[in-house]
Structure 1
């Protein structure tokens, strides 16, 4: 079982079996995101535990395809799918940027991950380590998770139009202020996205302007 397709869809290991993008408006799918920032008792951050819930349509097609694979159980298919998602995301820096006090942080390799079915949705969970753990004392950590081409939209888990309380949590010390800032693209970027045909993705970098920003403010 091998997946193929365009840049971001390859990362999600979905593009070889979704319906034609001509059938859907842009962006072509979405991910519901939740993040747990991992720190130790000294307030040193070591990574982000991310949970991605793929949208119901993608999830349905994925599960149908996995069930059609001969001589393989759904669990075996999900295990292989998880490995391929991880491997493909690695080439795209896991679609994640992390900054501390405005300085972008190098990311480590993901070794802890899993793909599963939960309430009819495909869920991919992984721990994204920082290459070098950093103290959060008197620091501001921020992150964005986005598809550079805006083929897939990534939004924090929300309810009634607002991020859920558990969409961003801090595990460990210190006590910090947590917030999720909405995207605020300028009109030029909005127009650029609106002009895309239904079968097009944006130029690399477009997705950044539509990305929410998670913040952990320990200053």
Structure 2
């Protein structure tokens, strides 16, 4: 699978995540489920009430060109190949990625301290195309109504790393409260070095398919920290 990943990397050679994926996929000679097949540029909108509580998160996913092409062809959309969908096509496409199996967390984890904040499934799904890429949005509600947004940690990641997320689209806050957003990007070189060191400890006959495959998704995830004053 390194050839396919390498082709993707060359198409976006300035994107560090793409080079990481190429390196990691070649280090892990295991099944297709052990390395990314989908690349998503992610955006987040935090919706905060007047008391400084988080009530909803609107998530934007912009799929890579190759995956977008596969989906559009499979659904027989954009037959003229201009990368622009008619309104009826957008309606047909909307929600294609919002049919979640039970227990799926939407590849989004929000924590306050060590506690994970439960979120609803996807609401108000919408899909369109931008430059021949599928771009979707969905809304997620905080279960229970709201949670204080004074010190939240947010990460978008697939634990198994089948899908690689990069927070490259806008991260914003909607509401009248003056909130602060900070981001902390992963040290890709350091994490990759740790993975290489782990692999060197394995016996040559070690079968990763029959044993636990390292869950590396969170290690390469950008952390967003949201802080809103209580009023």
Same fold (TM over 0.5): yes
Pair 1:218 & 2:221 matched:
no
**Secondary structure, aligned partner of 1:108:** coil
TM-score (norm 2): 0.66
Tell me, in whole angstroms, the C-alpha distance in 2 between the residues paired with 1:153 and 1:193.
Answer: 21
Q: Partner residue of 1:10?
A: none
Instruction: Report the alpha carbon displacement of residue 148 of structure 1 after superposing the two structures with TM.
Output: 1.3
Per-residue Cα deviation, 1:131-166 (whole angstroms, up to 9, x for no partner): 121122xx2111111111112210111xxxxxx6xx
Any unmatched runs of 5+ in structure 2? 6-21, 26-35, 80-84, 203-208
TM-score norm. by structure 1 comes to: 0.70
Asked if the contact 1:21/1:28 (under 8 Å) is kept, the reply is no
Q: What are the residue-to-residue correspondences of 1:22-37 with 2, within 5 Å?
A: 23-24=4-5, 25=22, 26=25, 27-37=36-46
Aligned residue pairs total 183
After superposition, where does 1:120-139 map in structure 2 within 5 Å?
120-132=132-144, 133-136=146-149, 139=150
1:206 pairs with one of 203, 216, 225: 216
Query: Residue in 2 aligned with 1:142?
Result: 153
Partner of 2:52: 43
Structure 1, unaligned runs of 5 or more: 1-19, 158-163
Report if the CA contact (8 A) 1:31-1:54 is conserved.
yes
Q: 1:56 to 1:192 in 2, by over 3 A?
A: farther
Counterpart among 75, 85, 94 of residue 66 in structure 1 = 75
Query: Aligned pair 1:97/2:109, yes or no?
Result: yes
TM-superposed deviation, 1:216: 0.8
Deviation at 1:77, TM superposition (A): 5.9
The C-alpha deviation readout for 1:31-58, integer Å capped at 9, x for no partner, is 1111010011222211211111001121
Instruction: Select the residue among 102, 108, 118 that pairs with 1:106.
Output: 118
Counterparts of 1:214 and 1:173 in 2: how far apart (Å)?
A: 20
| Deviation of 1:190 (Å) | 5.6
Indicate the RMSD between aligned Cα atoms, in angstroms.
3.2
Structure 1 match to 2:130: 118
Structure richer in strand, relative to its length:
1
Alignment CA distance shift 1:31-1:191 (3 Å):
farther
User: Structure 1 residue 179 and structure 2 residue 182: aligned?
Assistant: yes
In the alignment, the residues of structure 1 paired with residue 198 and residue 90 of structure 2 have an alpha-carbon distance, to the nearest angstrom, of 36
